[in-house]
Structure 1
Amino acid sequence: MVWLQRCTAEVDTVLARMRALGACWPEHDGVAVFNRVYLAVTEEIGRHLGDGRFVDGRAATTLDVRFAERYLAVAEEALGPTGGGSVPACWRPLVQLRRHPGIRPLQFALAGIHAHIGHDLALAVVDTCHALGCGPADLEDEFEQVGVVLVALEERIREEVMPGPDLLQVADPLTHLIGAWSLERAREAAWAAARALWALRGLPELAEEFTDRLDAAVGFANRLLLTPLPL
């Protein structure tokens, strides 16, 4: 089908941009850690575009691509070879602390996921609604199915960037730090924020203030997630 070929091409373009960025950064760079995680998630979503998992493949692709472009704009404009631009508050802790030796890979991965889901996802839903001429309710199935992929990959992600081969010990501070964060709660908050922003679309000043507050709140939480810990 023509739409499937177009959707696949759009996702392939996003994947190529992520791989190009990853090639520019050292393996242990904090943003590189998140980039690898996000690359795996996007590859997984791309594999499901034509297998019937998504009720509306075109809507799912539009949401996925708009979502990815939010991260890529930060990564390419501020962190790419010719970068130097400003960084949103939600991404600032990860960018500033990306080479800190006292921060573990799992913290970097979760901070990137939190910035992207806690802030970018809500804006991507609104972007998709404008692009498709629909409302958030029309994207709920696609939003939930993307969430299913994310939740299924979360455990694998934690295992891949865990500091050792065994489960974290109760006495390890990282156990308590990551226990305060939940992917499911972050997704629920993103959906509520997207609906609120859509309701405020006729009030641009209020919508901008809401977006700024959301950005700042996610940035504050990320600074806590990136607390340096003893090895």
Structure 2
Amino acid sequence: MTQSRTRAAQSLAEVVERMRAIRDRLDPRDGVACFNRTSLRFTELVGERLGAGHFEDRDFIERLDVVFANLYFDALDAAEAGRPVSPAWQPLFEARDDRMVRPVQFAFAGMNAHIGHDLPLAVVAACIDHRTTPDTPPVHADYLKLNELLAQAEAEARASFQAEVGRAGTRAAGPLRHIVAGFSVARARDGAWATTQTLWHERNLRPVFDATLTAVTSGTELAGRLLVTPVLPPAERPDGPADGSA
């Protein structure tokens, strides 16, 4: 598939519009579509809270969310145009057509890349844009409020997981539970905040900044590959033998 680079979103409304367009054009079973549904839900929740005055610095949070979303869009554009993609995103894009991987695995693999790799970069960029710092109030307080919305989106994905376990064969259910239990938005966002602070202090020391980002990217890629480990046993695979033989 070939797709040209798209114009970066400039507002939360444009982010939602593009995520809905991605939802509408992709097969619902596509791994990217599975992640996109969770990301769209989170973005809609942010929009609702912005309108309700939930955040102390509305402008900063909207800018952060737009920068954050554009990093995902850039990765998707690159993957679909055959351009290099950050290793943090490669597990999701490489496995997106594998029907042995469950939708919840794709959703969490995308969240792993987006939070572990993209979020620290987005916070640093948004702070530079707004001439503030991660330690200047209310940046961290508002960041923590975003945790609540990501936790809600994660909870909804986990609810769908319970239904998937019911449909999975007995041999698949155990490994699937183990894989999904290994991912936590709370831990991912705590780690992302620690990375944010490190990258912020290294932002003017490019070789050190790049070395830190490389290490973070490698760890995120490894976690992503574990999250998309196929769990369907041979008898239940879409292309497996009807008699259940290997």
TM-score (norm 2): 0.84
Unpaired runs of 5+ residues, structure 2, are 1-9, 237-246
Aligned length: 220
Post-superposition CA distance 1:111-141 (Å, at most 9, x none): 0000000110011010111100111112101
How far apart, in 1, do the equivalents of 2:164 and 2:93 lie? Answer: 25
What secondary structure, in the 3-state scheme, does the structure 1 residue paired with 2:50 have?
Answer: coil
For 1:223, the equivalent position in structure 2 comes to 225
- When Rg is computed on C-alpha atoms for both structures, the one with the higher figure is 2
How far apart, in 2, do the equivalents of 1:120 and 1:74 lie? Answer: 10
Q: Identical aligned pairs, as a percentage?
A: 35
How far residue 182 of structure 1 moved from its aligned partner, in angstroms, is: 1.3
For 2:52, the equivalent position in structure 1 comes to 51
Q: Verify the 8 A CA contact 1:178 1:225 in the aligned structure 2.
A: yes
How far residue 84 of structure 1 moved from its aligned partner, in angstroms, is: 1.9
Change (3 A) 1:16 1:176: same
Match of 1:117 among 111, 115, 118: 115
1:155 aligned partner, one-letter code: A
Structure 1 runs of 4+ with >6 Å offset: 167-170
Unpaired runs of 5+ residues, structure 1, are 1-8
2:50 aligned partner, one-letter code: L
Match of 1:199 among 173, 184, 201: 201
Post-superposition CA distance 1:134-181 (Å, at most 9, x none): 111121012111111111222112223545385998962111111122
Change (3 A) 1:155 1:180: same
How far apart, in 2, do the equivalents of 1:226 and 1:71 lie? Answer: 18
Match of 2:83 among 78, 82, 85: 85
Q: Verify the 8 A CA contact 1:119 1:218 in the aligned structure 2.
A: yes
Change (3 A) 1:26 1:161: farther
1:60 aligned partner, one-letter code: I
For 1:22, the equivalent position in structure 2 comes to 23
TM-score (norm 1): 0.89
2:65 aligned partner, one-letter code: D
Q: Verify the 8 A CA contact 1:105 1:162 in the aligned structure 2.
A: no
For 2:125, the equivalent position in structure 1 comes to 127
1:93 aligned partner, one-letter code: P
Correspondence 1:143 to 2:157: no
Correspondence 1:94 to 2:92: yes
Correspondence 1:64 to 2:65: yes
